[in-house]
A = this chain, B = another copy of it.
Amino acid sequence: MSLRQHKIAVIAGDGIGIEVTAAALNVLKAVEARLGTFRLVFDEFDYGSARYKATGAYAPEGWLDHLATSDAILFGAVGDPDVPDHISLWELILPMRQRFQQYVNVRPSSVLPGIAPHATAAAVAGLNWVFVRENTEGEYSGQGGRTHVGSTLEVATDVAVFTRGGVERCMRYAFEVARSRERKLLTVVTKSNAQRYGLVLWDEVAASVAMDFPDVKWDKMLVDAMTVRMVQKPHSLDTIVATNLHGDILTDLAAALSGSIGIAHSSSLDPTRANPSMFEPVHGAAFDIMGRNIANPVAAMFSAAEMLRWIGEEEAAVLVERAATQSICGGQVTCDLGGKLSTVEVTRVVCQMVERL
């Protein structure tokens, strides 16, 4: 019998991205060996800030075409104290999201059983949200510029660009996610009171797409009031859709409220499957803790599990998720969750569980 084969592009990137991606690869290899039903072919790329500092470019000419041939992309983190963020990100992660039309960024947040004692005081028991963040346009369209640079006359602009098609495909995806979940409840985040063009279009598209989903209950929340609701009435929320920037902010808050940013993962999806989708932790390169073998690898493992699910390996995905969740329930965790284990030790524990489960 010939094995199902999947070509996975791996970009570990910078900082703790390197450590947690190595951990995720180990877990992927463990689950591949354990099940023996598929093969993962890893293509590892050294794109990142070290390469930039050595060669002047984050990635070689034609890198996006190269990545386009993979079945999925596993990403670590990017960012470097020596490189302005707006360079590092516009060289690597934002072009991927745009070029590969990864128009939704899906970020589930839930408080894992067993995490409560280790998590922040603010962690809310039973919280169970899925955020769908628009991922290719809006405030991240990259348009804008600076005039009279450095002079007192200087003006700088960032243009948030919303297209009807871009908003609609994201909104439709969000309604579908809401429909697939038990509560069938969607909250559309907006700020159309202040942002009176793009966000008004956003509201209009929400209302029109909603007509195709009569079984989904939906409401609208201003992004500012949304933070209050997340803190004060977390159980009133289920599926949430937001623009690129609003989603960026709210999903970090969600990660904090669900106990640790060290376990939050994120999928940048092209639901049409015309292009590879990308799977990454919500956290960044975290230079303050890099190289110390203390980064929490669980977000990267959950990202890898979500990738397995996306490429059709549901059984493997479930195994990885169960193993990582059990290590947390058992208190075998890194210091951000109040534990004493290193990155490598947590990885070993999870790999062993994958082998035995």
A residues apposed to B, CB below 8 Å: 79, 84-86, 88-90, 94, 120-122, 124, 139-140, 142, 144-146, 148, 151-165, 191-201, 222-225, 227-228, 231-232, 244-246, 248-253, 255-257, 261, 284
Closest 3 pairs (CB-CB, A-B): A85-B193, A86-B196, A154-B164
Using Cβ atoms and an 8 Å threshold, which residues of chain B touch A165?
152
In the assembly, what is the distance between CA of A306 and CA of B169, in Å? Answer: 47
Apart from A86-B199, A89-B194, A122-B232, 13 more pairs, CB < 8 Å = A122-B231, A139-B194, A144-B197, A157-B160, A157-B161, A158-B196, A158-B198, A159-B159, A195-B245, A227-B253, A231-B256, A232-B256, A245-B245
| Cα distance, A145 to B160, chains bound together (Å) | 11
A86-B193, A159-B157, A161-B157 are contacts. A227–B198 as well, Cβ < 8 Å?
Answer: no
Contact call B139/A151, Cβ cutoff below 8 A: no
Residues of B within 8 A of A140 (CB): 194
Whether B194 and A248, one on each chain, are in contact in the complex, defined by CB atoms closer than 8 angstroms, is yes
- A94-B194, A153-B164, A163-B155 are known contacts. Are A252 and B232 too (CB-CB below 8 A)? no
What's the Cα separation between A325 and B140 when bound, in Å? 43
Residues from chain B with Cβ under 8 Å of A192 in the complex: 84-86
In the assembled complex, which residues on chain B have CB atoms less than 8 Å from the CB atom of A148? 164
Closest to A144 in B: B197
CB-defined A-B contacts under 8 Å, sample of 18? A79-B193, A85-B192, A85-B222, A86-B196, A90-B196, A122-B231, A140-B194, A144-B159, A144-B198, A146-B197, A156-B200, A158-B195, A158-B196, A158-B198, A159-B159, A159-B160, A228-B252, A253-B253
A152 to B201 alpha-carbon distance, docked (Å) = 12
* Chain B residues within an 8 Å CB radius of A84: 192, 200
CB proximity of A237 to chain B, nearest CB, Å = 14
CA distance A231 to B124 in the complex (A): 12
In the bound complex, CA of A148 to CA of B249 (Å): 30
CB <8 Å contact, B249 and A249: yes
Distance, CA A90 to CA B191, complexed state (A):
13
